[in-house]
């Protein structure tokens, strides 16, 4: 495999983007597309890190003959995964050491921000990997691979280069779509993560204290045409499950005056065109879901938020979740960490989504429900914070509203965020509160809520 290339997917998980099976994130697809854009007949072999673990000898035999190996990795939000185990720094060190001949390139969140093991910890920095790899890409990995192949030289690659638009990405996404054929979940339950924009609209006010998304810079929107072309290519290779998950807030897609206001005015017309175009590109898709929604956007623009919720319900598939980054219901914590919304605003966002989303779809599940994300260990957190968070969730239950799931996470601390100077001091001090709170929520909120979302006798269909 003299002119072949190997991609090792160590899995990624970011505030805006998931790449742990059954989800396939954008990085492997864009990198494959960058290779095939330069070398249409190149052999590109894709491995997940779990495949590498299971068949190390097979992997080493193939990879040792490659021209280059591209490692993609980086977990920057705390999570537990059923479909795979993300790569560790120790595994990256080991694999880079045993593979001597090929050019070794490292990219993804691990190279930019570091790698997280679990919540309540400080991220491990990639500096110790510098000597193990020929190129550590702290910009966009797909651009570095594209330049490397085009220039046939590592020295001519700028490892800090970042995209300023989606021109090349739209080309890479279409050409790299066929890499899905090599994914172990292909033809079973593979879900493709689609990117609609990069960056956080709230970056102009600094963003949340713990979040890496504002570090990507100003918001860059991807065109409906580019997204639809990628979906059409993926669909032609048999993909039928999609998630609009790679953005900080689906309600802010193509929002008016983005970059001027913390909560730019949503653009229902653009959102409808996006969903309609995806449906036209993949007419018999099985899953079309969303992910992130900013409660502050919904609360500040209720009229547009209701229109967009109605649009999502019209075009998506039922059983969908709009993940709301509430983070905390403690006004003090909200202020000190520059969070998105007050408790009342977050509650209003839950109500808005429930108005249209709580109706049941053809598969027996409610169409679109909020998911509530809490982060613990933030600046200003005290015992009172846990009481206020409980009261917030209890109020949702008492109002008869539906919530699909509640994520309770301990903060993962990354450099260049405001939490870096605080570290794990707060979460270490409050660990006993977190443990008790988690158990209380599971028993007193989660269980009755689950019975409300899927009551006895509900028939669930595919």
Length of the chain: 462
Looking only at the bridges linking them, the beta strands covering 220-221 and 197-198 are antiparallel
| pLDDT score, position 230 | 99
Residues 31 and 102 in one domain: yes
Domain boundary among 93, 121, 151: 151
| pLDDT score, position 130 | 72
| pLDDT score, position 29 | 99
Q: Give how far Cα 103 sits from Cα of 68, 93, 158, Å.
A: 4, 14, 16
Number of domains in the chain: 2
Residues 322 and 413 in one domain: yes
CB 296 within 8 A of CB 328: no
- Summarised one tens digit per residue, pLDDT across range 404-441 is 999 999 999 988 899 999 999 999 999 999 999 999 99
d(CA 150, CA 375): 43
Q: How many CA atoms lie within 13 A of 87 on its CB side?
A: 32
Average pLDDT value over all residues in the chain: 95
**pLDDT band of 2, cuts 50, 70, 90:** very low
Query: Domain of 21: which CATH number?
Result: 3.40.50
Work out the widest C-alpha separation in the chain, in whole angstroms: 64
Q: Which residues of 292-321 are buried (b: 16+ CB within 10 A; e: fewer)?
A: bbbbbbbbbbeebbbbbbbbbbebbbbbbb
Residues 211 and 133 in one domain: no
- Once rounded to an integer, what is the mean pLDDT over residues 304-311? 99
| pLDDT score, position 117 | 65
Domain range enclosing 146: 5-151
Residue 259 in any domain: the answer is: yes
- Summarised one tens digit per residue, pLDDT across range 136-191 is 999 999 999 999 999 999 999 999 999 999 999 999 999 999 999 999 999 999 99
pTM to 2 decimals? 0.95
Residues 205 and 82 in one domain: no
Residues 405 and 300 in one domain: yes
């Amino acid at each position: 495999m003299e002119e072949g290339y190997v991609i090792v997917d160590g899995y990624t998980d970011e505030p805006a983007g998931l790449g742990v099976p059954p989800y396939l994130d954008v990085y492997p697809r864009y990198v494959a597309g960058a290779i095939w854009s330069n070398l249409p007949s190149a052999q590109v072999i894709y491995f997940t890190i779990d495949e590498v673990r299971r068949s190390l000898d097979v992997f080493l035999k193939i990879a040792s003959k490659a021209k280059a190996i591209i490692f993609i990795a980086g977990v920057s939000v705390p999570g537990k995964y059923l479909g795979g185990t993300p790569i560790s720094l120790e595994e990256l060190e080991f694999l880079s050491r045993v593979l001597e001949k090929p050019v070794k390139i490292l990219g993804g969140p691990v190279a930019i921000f570091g790698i997280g093991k679990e919540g309540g910890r400080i991220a491990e920095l990639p500096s110790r990997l510098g000597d193990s790899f020929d190129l550590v890409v702290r910009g966009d990995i797909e651009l570095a691979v594209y330049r490397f192949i085009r220039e046939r030289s590592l020295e001519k690659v700028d490892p800090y280069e970042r995209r300023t638009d989606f021109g090349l990405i739209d080309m890479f996404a279409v050409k790299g779509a066929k890499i899905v054929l090599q994914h172990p979940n292909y033809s079973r339950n593979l879900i493709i993560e689609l990117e609609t924009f990069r960056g956080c609209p709230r970056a102009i006010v600094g963003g949340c204290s713990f979040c890496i998304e504002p570090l990507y810079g100003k918001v860059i929107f991807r065109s409906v045409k580019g997204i639809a072309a990628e979906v059409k290519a993926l669909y032609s290779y048999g993909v039928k499950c999609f998630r609009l998950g790679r953005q900080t807030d689906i309600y802010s897609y193509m929002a008016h005056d983005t970059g001027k206001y913390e909560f730019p005015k949503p653009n229902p017309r653009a959102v409808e065109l996006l969903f309609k175009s995806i449906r036209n590109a993949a007419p018999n898709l099985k899953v079309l879901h969303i992910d992130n929604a900013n409660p502050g956007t919904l609360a500040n623009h209720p009229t547009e938020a209701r229109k967009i919720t109605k649009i999502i319900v019209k075009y998506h598939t039922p059983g969908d979740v709009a993940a709301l980054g509430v983070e905390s219901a403690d006004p003090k914590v909200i202020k000190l960490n520059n969070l998105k919304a007050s408790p009342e605003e977050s509650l209003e966002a839950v109500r808005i989504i429930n108005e249209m989303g709580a109706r049941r779809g053809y598969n027996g599940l409610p169409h679109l429900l909020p998911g509530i994300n809490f982060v613990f260990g933030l600046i200003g957190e005290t015992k009172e914070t846990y009481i206020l968070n409980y009261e917030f969730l209890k109020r949702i239950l008492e109002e008869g509203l539906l919530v699909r799931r509640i994520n309770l996470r301990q903060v993962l601390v990354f450099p260049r965020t405001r939490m870096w100077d605080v570290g794990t001091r707060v979460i270490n001090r409050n660990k006993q509160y977190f443990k008790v709170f988690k158990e209380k929520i599971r028993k007193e909120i989660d269980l009755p809520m689950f019975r409300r979302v899927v009551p006895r006798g509900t028939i669930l269909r595919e």
